[in-house]
Amino acid sequence: NAGVMQNPRHLVRRRGQEARLRCSPMKGHSHVYWYRQLPEEGLKFMVYLQKENIIDESGMPKERFSAEFPKEGPSILRIQQVVRGDSAAYFCASSPALRPRSPYGYTFGSGTRLTVV
């Protein structure tokens, strides 16, 4: 009865490197959401994806950030050429297809803490 699985739990990258964050949704969930929690701030919505589709990316920075949710495998949040300001906790949530836009079906993962040095 695994929940939303995120890995790695902690990730350290040097400035200019790439960071890849993975999220496996709960069994039966086909909708994934990514949120970012900057230090001393609340979570901010980044992107909402279904399998092979980006539904809403209004919260994604315009450059260096991308997300995908392939037909097979986990959702990936990719940050290219990381900078110190990318240091944050990145949380993934998933929901079932039946009520994809209902907040009640959200389940959050434990997050990936990215540190850029």
Partner 1 sequence: GNSVTQMEGPVTLSEEAFLTINCTYTATGYPSLFWYVQYPGEGLQLLLKATKADDKGSNKGFEATYRKETTSFHLEKGSVQVSDSAVYFCALSDRGTGNQFYFGTGTSLTVIP
Residues that bind partner 1 (CB under 8 A): 4, 6, 33, 35, 40-45, 48, 55-56, 59, 91, 101-104, 106, 108-111
- Residue 14 or 42: the one with the smaller Cβ distance to partner 1 is 42
- Residue 85 or 103: the one with the smaller Cβ distance to partner 1 is 103
- Residue 74 or 109: the one with the smaller Cβ distance to partner 1 is 109
Q: Which of 115, 116, 113 is nearest to 83 (CA)?
A: 116
Q: Which of 102, 96, 104, 92 is nearest to 4 (CA)?
A: 92
Minimal distance, residue 102 CB to partner 1, in Å: 6
Minimal distance, residue 16 CB to partner 1, in Å: 28
Question: What is the rounded CA–CA span in Å between residue 28 and residue 44?
Answer: 25
Sign, Cα dihedral of 47, 43, 39, 23: negative
Burial of 104 (0-12, 13-18, 19+ CB in 10 A): exposed
Minimal distance, residue 50 CB to partner 1, in Å: 13
- Residue 15 or 27: the one with the smaller Cβ distance to partner 1 is 27
